[in-house]
Amino acid sequence: MNKSIRAAIIGSTGYGGVELIRLLLRHPHVEITSVISSSTAGAPISEGFPHLHTIIRDKLDPVDVQLIRSKADVVFTATPHGVSAEIAPQLLDAGLKVIDLSGDFRLRSREAYKEWYKREAAEQAYLDQAVYGLAEIYGDRVNENVSFISNPGCYPTATLLGLIPAVKSGWIDLKSIIVDAKSGVSGAGRGLSLGSHYSEVNENFKAYKVNKHQHIPEIEQALSDEAGTPVVTTFTTHLVPMTRGIMCTSYATLTDSKTEEDFIEYYEQFYEGRPFVRIRPKGTWPATKEVWGSNYCDIGFAVDQRTNRVTIISVIDNVVKGAAGQAVQNLNLMMGWDEGLGLDFTPVYP
Amino acid sequence: MNKSIRAAIIGSTGYGGVELIRLLLRHPHVEITSVISSSTAGAPISEGFPHLHTIIRDKLDPVDVQLIRSKADVVFTATPHGVSAEIAPQLLDAGLKVIDLSGDFRLRSREAYKEWYKREAAEQAYLDQAVYGLAEIYGDRVNENVSFISNPGCYPTATLLGLIPAVKSGWIDLKSIIVDAKSGVSGAGRGLSLGSHYSEVNENFKAYKVNKHQHIPEIEQALSDEAGTPVVTTFTTHLVPMTRGIMCTSYATLTDSKTEEDFIEYYEQFYEGRPFVRIRPKGTWPATKEVWGSNYCDIGFAVDQRTNRVTIISVIDNVVKGAAGQAVQNLNLMMGWDEGLGLDFTPVYP
Amino acid sequence: MNKSIRAAIIGSTGYGGVELIRLLLRHPHVEITSVISSSTAGAPISEGFPHLHTIIRDKLDPVDVQLIRSKADVVFTATPHGVSAEIAPQLLDAGLKVIDLSGDFRLRSREAYKEWYKREAAEQAYLDQAVYGLAEIYGDRVNENVSFISNPGCYPTATLLGLIPAVKSGWIDLKSIIVDAKSGVSGAGRGLSLGSHYSEVNENFKAYKVNKHQHIPEIEQALSDEAGTPVVTTFTTHLVPMTRGIMCTSYATLTDSKTEEDFIEYYEQFYEGRPFVRIRPKGTWPATKEVWGSNYCDIGFAVDQRTNRVTIISVIDNVVKGAAGQAVQNLNLMMGWDEGLGLDFTPVYP
Amino acid sequence: MNKSIRAAIIGSTGYGGVELIRLLLRHPHVEITSVISSSTAGAPISEGFPHLHTIIRDKLDPVDVQLIRSKADVVFTATPHGVSAEIAPQLLDAGLKVIDLSGDFRLRSREAYKEWYKREAAEQAYLDQAVYGLAEIYGDRVNENVSFISNPGCYPTATLLGLIPAVKSGWIDLKSIIVDAKSGVSGAGRGLSLGSHYSEVNENFKAYKVNKHQHIPEIEQALSDEAGTPVVTTFTTHLVPMTRGIMCTSYATLTDSKTEEDFIEYYEQFYEGRPFVRIRPKGTWPATKEVWGSNYCDIGFAVDQRTNRVTIISVIDNVVKGAAGQAVQNLNLMMGWDEGLGLDFTPVYP
């Protein structure tokens, strides 16, 4: 159980991939044996990421299933949507364990995928095999028999950890949920676009994909599962002039007379024993920097008697808990290890 | 009508005051005759604000009503809450016109002021005299007979310009309004605090004063006036790591089957002839940088059939339209001038 | 002399071009009659630059010399290096006045151009015709007989305005000049590159093109001209995580026992009557934000007796004084107008 | 040798102190037994630093030497200048090991201290006892017999690691050294000042304390020691709109015909076996983000044949290698442990 495993990372030159490297380098039971990139195979990874100079001297491997099979036990696919749908099945067929960080295996409905992602969904058999790895909620489904994890999206992670206990409590009107979400720019990845161009983003705050973000069906799928009835939400995404961090400010109408203390107590019980969710004391709300560089999801509450609504504020580091960190957490669960192994990063402040 | 008037600015060493200087320097009919600061009187203003070096060589005057009376026709009081309540009546009694940028004269209810500002309200007679200067809505109340303007708050300006047409249209459920507001740091002023300390704010996004911001009663007072019935709102304020800009993302449930086109057409008619409100084309939403340094308020819409809600996104530069710019606009109206005089600043981009 | 002229801007969808629009909209004697872009001709300019929504309703024109000739008297070519070398001669031949913002006509030596720009230089005849428009130094060469201005680069403007008086004073050792330059990211333009990608630049400070920047020969050409002897400099460029602003920190060994007061007095005399150069008082140095959005170049000094060196700090807004603002200043000189016409922008602070 | 030691941190509510907590939490042989603050003793540390919520539940202890003695073996004094001069001697007298992060024990000359720090120096006996802990240079002086370390300043660390090999090589003219230094804002600490106020710093680049920074004598003391002859430098400090990171761009005239390859080879040999100094390949230079959150100092070179100068670019994270990280490195050396123990943080990128 404590033996080392060998990990390969496909998409090592994206932000999710390079963060997996940072995290796995500190993992006591994992050895990174292959860093893989389709676009720059053959070059040392430190050429494109000089912060890894002297830390990783490896050259990037090409995407070659047999080569991966020979070098690794588990593969993280930090690949763009569409690419994972192709490569993950091949890796699984080759007998590898796979943790996919893309959106390709998160939606059970192939129709929903096609509608929101504007492309064909992955094959049904593999969709059926994938376990949705929202660790604090579905962690009990992940064990040594599971070979394939679909790692949740960044917005869904922050939204769902903030909302699922409320949804299950019965204290909120399920038809009233509105999520106002804000993300740092790293969520858009390393691919070039005017929307991530420094001079366009700096000293600017903007909304994008209003009501159209592909994370909406992922959120609604989980909320509906937990509620036992279809839930739709109004979900707005905004871009914040910062690199890392997501805040979801969620609103719902109370069905019952509940206080902030009630919510805090309920959430603390709900997340008891889960080290990465931290419930904030009454009257305080988490800021994104307070989880920066760490795997925490922090949650705070405000109840307004005037309007009979609860405001739930949840924050994560989108690159860690919203991607690479939760992927490592899922690896831990998959291997039967403590879920926090190698993830004891204190947030970097300031 | 075209003669110059002489203007004094109390609070010239705050961000609102120094922005008034920038704007009034370009105004064809205004001469700044006194820059006033209680704290640093006697020093050249360019000592504390070197960007004014060679532009304004004046020394700061003390707060002295007789001196002001001798030098000015109109006074902008860009002073902290509580200070304006003291000084504005004295200036009015001395026969000066006053445009107050503080919150001291915005609420008609002295009880509401005390509850939200945690201090005693100004005297009733002066509250009665103040005209609430939300220019595009109440501009017709401002004319040459008006001596005292209470300039709206930054959040209320963005929120109200975004919501009032919808409230008046009857298309939204008045009980359903939620405003998720975000502001740059300059809104907190030049006074030192940990909350405005660079290393605490940079690369950080946070919520503050949730349900407690003193702009809430100001917003609800105007919405209730326009609706003809009491309106309460859920209103959350967030701090964005940038200097200037406010975005209000407002949500409401539709009472009728309306489209984005309907809202755009309605708002364009509503604001016809008001140059500083710009309605964005369907499918686009304004970003804060697109009004940066200017007096514009830009508004965009999203209607979601799935949830039967409208999302209204309104942005301003908090220092201009949310403070100094609207104050100059009010001066123009008060003097019978074109409301845009001296305010034709194109947003600075990038 | 006061009649309006008609201006066209080629490259209206770059940062230099869009800033020309902002400035010229406020110019009392200029009418923008054509905004031109080779890449997006036919689209409204406000589609790509929504901050211009309602301000400019024009569609982008293609690059068509006859069309331009029919619509304009003067053309600003805010085009990439290489493109100007092609288009400017055609415009001149068509009888238009041209102000070129590229580097194509700044170097008299075609060999130097080829060495530093890695491409063929423009034709000699046009190089000969171009007047290098560093306004405060060579403004007397620009008059109504001049048809073609080569607008200086951003780094050269800040460096040369800081160094030329010192070079001419004889107080510094010409062999000792070192310039440590820092620029905001807008200097790299709107073209996409990893070096301008938000997540790579934010919270990062880096050096680039050390000893290799194409502005080095431009600086040395002017310094050598002024010194009457060849001058070489060590020149390092750094990227600052901000959008606008350049600071050049220049070092030189004193040949004589001079104080900060000596430098201040000398520079004030040198730049007497030139409104856009501001000399800072002893013991203070300019920050980039103190000229933000304006056409100023601010300069401060430190003399160190311990090391017998002077440190000269000069700052500009790279998009204004370093590009569009100086271009307008050159237009003013070319037309025989006051050089400051339409450029009385107070720096935006904060 | 591998037994745990107990550590106390005085000044736990400053940025240096809170970073020590982050680092020591990962150290395999150190237990933090007391977090100490004179100003907020009695409050939980997570009240002022919510990122530590659930990680450290301790309340802040007062500064009480006997209490510290009872709880700790080693004390980090992350206290302001002047405070350390008082408290460190008391702690030493009580038999504790002390690592001081202030400037109070870095200068051997009490006169120099008084001149640059504008206050009285610490007592001579303690100055004599302190070992200047620039780990890669003077690490061999630190061993289990040493009780008192004076941890170097942030600027000196970056400057000296970049310059000392060059000074010792004999390849540069010692009279020609100019250091152009740039720092993120966290270097100014958590104390409030207009110079660290967000709206003043954001989108701004400025010089400060030109030729007057108190780190100058510290740098010159070490350079002179290494050169065996007095060395003076021109040293300019600038503030970068970012939280963490220092870059020192150092210039010197070559005394010999040396290439970039020569410097790279020499430096690689000089720092052989020192894991935290990384020499960059020819033609590349380090950016501050590439060491962000880590204990690395990265160094790159440019040699300019035209001017016969070398440019040496060195970067650190000012809070880690420039303060808390180097302090832990010194603890490791002091305890006879591997110098890298607990410091294997990969830089956080992006």
- State whether residue A350 sits within 8 Å of chain D by CB: yes
Arithmetic mean of pLDDT, A108-134: 98
Contacts C28 to B, Cβ<8 Å: none
Residues 6+ apart with CB under 8 A from A23: A320, A324, A325, A328, A342, A343, A345
Distance of CA C333 to the CA centre of its chain: 15
Arithmetic mean of pLDDT, C111-134: 98
Of the pLDDT bands very low, low, confident and very high (cuts 50, 70, 90), residue A1 is very low
**pLDDT tens-place string over residues D110-121:** 999 999 999 999
Amino acid at position D321, single letter: K
Of the pLDDT bands very low, low, confident and very high (cuts 50, 70, 90), residue D1 is very low
Contacts D242 to C, Cβ<8 Å: 202-205, 241
Torsion of CA A152, A156, A158, A159, to 10 degrees: -150
Arithmetic mean of pLDDT, B321-342: 98
Would you call D145 helix, strand, or coil by DSSP? Answer: coil
- State whether residue A18 sits within 8 Å of chain D by CB: yes
Q: Which residues of A are catalytic?
A: 154
CB pairs under 8 A between A and C: 54
Task: Please answer yes or no on whether A50 and D26 come within 8 Å at the CB atom.
Answer: no
Arithmetic mean of pLDDT, B200-229: 98
C-alpha to C-alpha distances, D176 to B38, D168, D311, nearest whole angstrom = 49, 15, 12
Q: What element of type H or E holds B15?
A: helix B15-24
- Confidence at residue C285, expressed as pLDDT on a 0 to 100 scale: 98
Phi, psi of C6 (to 5 degrees): -105, 130
Of B3-12, C116-125, D222-231, the one with minimum mean pLDDT is B3-12
Residue of C nearest to D293 (CA): C203
- State whether residue B289 sits within 8 Å of chain A by CB: yes
Q: Kindly provide the ipTM of the predicted complex, given to two decimals.
A: 0.97
Phi, psi of A47 (to 5 degrees): -70, -45
Task: Please answer yes or no on whether C210 and D311 come within 8 Å at the CB atom.
Answer: yes
Rg (alpha carbons) of chain D, rounded to whole number? 20
Contacts C278 to B, Cβ<8 Å: 53-54
- Confidence at residue D3, expressed as pLDDT on a 0 to 100 scale: 62
Strand partners, A315: A247, A298
Q: What element of type H or E holds A69?
A: helix A65-71
CA distance D202 to D200: 6
Six-digit token string for D275: 């894991």
Indicate the average pLDDT of chain B: 97
Contacts C350 to B, Cβ<8 Å: 15, 186, 243-244
Measured between CA atoms, how close is A150 to chain D, in angstroms?
A: 24
Listed residue (A136, A153, A159, A177) closest to A100, CA to CA: A153
- Confidence at residue C1, expressed as pLDDT on a 0 to 100 scale: 42
CA distance B306 to D187: 50
- Confidence at residue C3, expressed as pLDDT on a 0 to 100 scale: 62
Distance of CA B335 to the CA centre of its chain: 19
DSSP output for A24-68: HTT-TTEEEEEEE-SSSTTSBHHHH-GGGTTT--PBPBP--HHHH
**pLDDT tens-place string over residues A229-238:** 999 999 999 9
Would you call B293 helix, strand, or coil by DSSP? Answer: coil
Is the CA virtual torsion A228, A230, A234, A237 positive or negative?
A: positive
- Confidence at residue C179, expressed as pLDDT on a 0 to 100 scale: 98
C-alpha to C-alpha distances, B106 to B8, B124, B212, D191, nearest whole angstrom = 21, 12, 17, 35
Indicate the average pLDDT of chain D: 97
∠A96-A102-A103 over CA atoms, to 5°?
120
**pLDDT tens-place string over residues C29-54:** 999 999 999 889 999 999 999 999 99
Arithmetic mean of pLDDT, A317-334: 98
**pLDDT tens-place string over residues C73-108:** 999 999 999 999 999 999 999 999 999 999 999 999
Six-digit token string for A231: 């839930």
C-alpha to C-alpha distances, B292 to B287, B295, B304, B346, D180, nearest whole angstrom = 9, 8, 29, 9, 33
Task: Please answer yes or no on whether B243 and D185 come within 8 Å at the CB atom.
Answer: no
Task: Please answer yes or no on whether C51 and B289 come within 8 Å at the CB atom.
Answer: yes
Residue of D nearest to B242 (CA): D202
Listed residue (A199, A139, A155) closest to D203, CA to CA: A199
What domains appear along chain C, each with residue ranges and CATH number?
5-129 (3.40.50.720), 155-318 (3.30.360.10)
Listed residue (B245, D286, A195, B199) closest to C196, CA to CA: A195
∠C153-C157-C158 over CA atoms, to 5°?
125
CB pairs under 8 A between B and C: 82
- State whether residue A247 sits within 8 Å of chain B by CB: yes
pLDDT at B1 over 90: no
Do C88 and C68 meet the contact criterion of CB atoms below 8 Å apart? no
Task: Please answer yes or no on whether D198 and B185 come within 8 Å at the CB atom.
Answer: yes
Six-digit token string for B135: 């220019």
**pLDDT tens-place string over residues B234-287:** 999 999 999 999 999 999 999 999 999 999 999 999 999 999 999 999 999 999
pLDDT at C2 over 90: no
Of A43-57, B1-15, B60-74, B105-119, the one with minimum mean pLDDT is B1-15
Measured between CA atoms, how close is A88 to chain D, in angstroms?
A: 26
- Confidence at residue D236, expressed as pLDDT on a 0 to 100 scale: 98
The chains in contact with chain A, meaning 3 or more Cβ pairs closer than 8 Å, are: B, C, D
Contacts C25 to B, Cβ<8 Å: 344, 346
**pLDDT tens-place string over residues C15-29:** 999 999 999 999 999
- State whether residue D202 sits within 8 Å of chain A by CB: yes
Q: What is the 3-state secondary structure (H, E, C) of B211-268?
A: CCCCHHHHHHHHHHHHHCCCCCCEEEEEECCCCCCEEEEEEEEECCCCCHHHHHHHHH
C-alpha to C-alpha distances, B41 to B45, B101, D56, D278, nearest whole angstrom = 9, 20, 47, 53
Amino acid at position B78, single letter: A
Q: Considering C121, C154, C239, C313, which one is annotated as catalytic? A: C154
Of the pLDDT bands very low, low, confident and very high (cuts 50, 70, 90), residue C12 is very high
Task: Please answer yes or no on whether B15 and D199 come within 8 Å at the CB atom.
Answer: yes
Measured between CA atoms, how close is B131 to chain C, in angstroms?
A: 29
Is the CA virtual torsion D11, D16, D19, D25 positive or negative?
A: negative
Listed residue (C348, A349, A178, A210) closest to B245, CA to CA: C348
Distance of CA D3 to the CA centre of its chain: 26
Six-digit token string for A243: 């690199």
**pLDDT tens-place string over residues D203-246:** 999 999 999 999 999 999 999 999 999 999 999 999 999 999 99
- State whether residue C198 sits within 8 Å of chain A by CB: yes
Q: Which residues of D are catalytic?
A: 154
- Confidence at residue A11, expressed as pLDDT on a 0 to 100 scale: 96
- State whether residue D321 sits within 8 Å of chain A by CB: no
∠B235-B240-B317 over CA atoms, to 5°?
80
Strand partners, D308: none
- Confidence at residue B3, expressed as pLDDT on a 0 to 100 scale: 62
Find the DSSP H helices in C196-324.
198-201, 216-227, 260-270
Residue from C199, C202, C206, C242 to probe the interface with A (highest A Cβ count within 10 Å): C199
Task: Please answer yes or no on whether C350 and B186 come within 8 Å at the CB atom.
Answer: yes
Torsion of CA C68, C70, C74, C78, to 10 degrees: -10
Residues 6+ apart with CB under 8 A from A222: A132, A134, A137, A156, A160, A164
